[in-house]
């Protein structure tokens, strides 16, 4: 597998995992919030807010945010390692092996997530694993 094939595989895997997990996170957001609150938070969203969900940090579980950020940096780091190894010609087997392991990792977490939230109905049962937060947080008094 040459460097172009490695980067193509890693790019396709990145796009698939990125879209899959973002869809899952948006499902959590819509499960936790009503339409009005979602629209209010969605206003004036920058690229950083869109990419890292900074306006929805209190709604999404911390483990999900950490895993999402880990996914982003894992795929970018793997692509950088493949390019670095190709330029230095350090190991011909490291790049293909890394792309293969990233593929196995992505498929495994997608299957695990699908099994955890699988149902026969249309709606994803987020309430099975995520508790719904009701109401606003109390204000801190001085």
The predicted-structure confidence for 47-98, as pLDDT tens digits, reads as follows 999 999 999 999 999 999 999 999 999 999 999 999 998 888 877 788 889 9
Q: What is the reported pLDDT for 137?
A: 62
| pLDDT tens, position by position, 28-56 | 999 999 899 899 999 988 999 999 999 99
Query: Which tops the pLDDT comparison, 25 or 91?
Result: 25
The model's confidence at residue 135, banded by pLDDT at 50, 70 and 90, is: low
Using the structure block, give the residue that is written with the tokens 């990419």: 51
* pLDDT at site 102: 95
pLDDT category, 122, cuts 50, 70, 90? confident
Beta-carbon contacts of 60 under 8 Å, excluding residues fewer than 6 positions away, are: 25, 28, 29, 32, 53
């Amino acid at each position: 597998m040459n460097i172009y094939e490695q980067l193509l595989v890693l790019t396709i895997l990145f796009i698939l995992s990125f879209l899959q997990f973002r869809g899952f996170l948006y499902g959590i957001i819509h499960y936790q919030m009503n339409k009005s609150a979602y629209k209010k938070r969605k206003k004036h969203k920058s690229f950083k807010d869109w990419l890292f969900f900074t306006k929805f940090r209190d709604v999404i579980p911390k483990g999900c945010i950490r895993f999402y950020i880990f996914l982003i940096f894992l795929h970018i780091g793997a692509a950088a390692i493949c390019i670095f190894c190709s330029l230095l010609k350090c190991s011909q087997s490291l790049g293909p092996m890394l792309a293969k392991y990233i593929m196995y990792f992505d498929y495994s977490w997608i299957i695990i997530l699908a099994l955890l939230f699988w149902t026969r109905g249309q709606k994803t049962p987020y309430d099975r694993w995520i508790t719904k937060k009701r109401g606003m947080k109390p204000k801190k008094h001085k």
